[in-house]
């Protein structure tokens, strides 16, 4: 693609300097659903643990917003069920996320777009290391 056009499109889409936090989180949520790990609460816990060694803990509100967006975009849908088998004893509901009919396909397309941005960011960071440290 023409470079000038590429810059123009990225600006129009409000795409910033680095990959957006929301996109990064959505990528992981999609992969968890692919791996049949779509239990809402566990996804939240996993996300909070995953990046601690990198000095980063994704804000809970961002994870919820990312899940909400994936539902809004028709990629995921929610089901609820009781945690135990006896509704007289256990009232606690758990929330599960699944792909919609064409959700897996939409998710795959989204992952491809995010991959392009991840590669762009990796190149920009490598460039900064090469250009400024000798």
DSSP 36: T
* Residue whose CB is less far from a copy of itself, 23 or 94: 23
Rounded least distance, CB 36 to a copy of itself, Å: 15
> Pattern 29-58, binding to a copy of itself, x per CB under 8 A?
-xx-------------------xxxxxxxx
DSSP string, 67-128: HHHHHHTTSEEEEEEESSS-TTT---EEEEEEE-TTHHHHHHHHHHHHHHHHHHHHHHHHHH
Rounded least distance, CB 92 to a copy of itself, Å: 29
Binding residues for a copy of itself (CB under 8 A): 3-4, 6-7, 10-11, 16-19, 21, 24, 27-28, 30-31, 51-58, 111, 115, 118-129, 131-133
């Amino acid at each position: 693609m023409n470079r000038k056009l590429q810059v123009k499109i990225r600006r129009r889409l409000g795409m910033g300097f680095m990959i957006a936090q929301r996109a990064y989180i959505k990528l992981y949520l999609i992969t968890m659903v692919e791996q049949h790990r779509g239990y809402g609460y566990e996804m939240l816990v996993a996300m909070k643990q995953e990046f601690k060694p990198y000095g980063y803990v994704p804000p809970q509100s961002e994870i919820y917003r990312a899940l909400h967006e994936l539902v809004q975009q028709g990629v995921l849908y929610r089901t609820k069920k009781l945690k135990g088998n006896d509704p007289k004893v256990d009232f606690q509901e758990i929330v599960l996320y699944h792909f919609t009919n064409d959700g897996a396909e939409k998710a795959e397309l989204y992952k491809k777009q995010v991959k392009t941005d991840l590669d762009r960011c990796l190149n920009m960071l490598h460039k900064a290391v090469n250009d400024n440290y000798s």
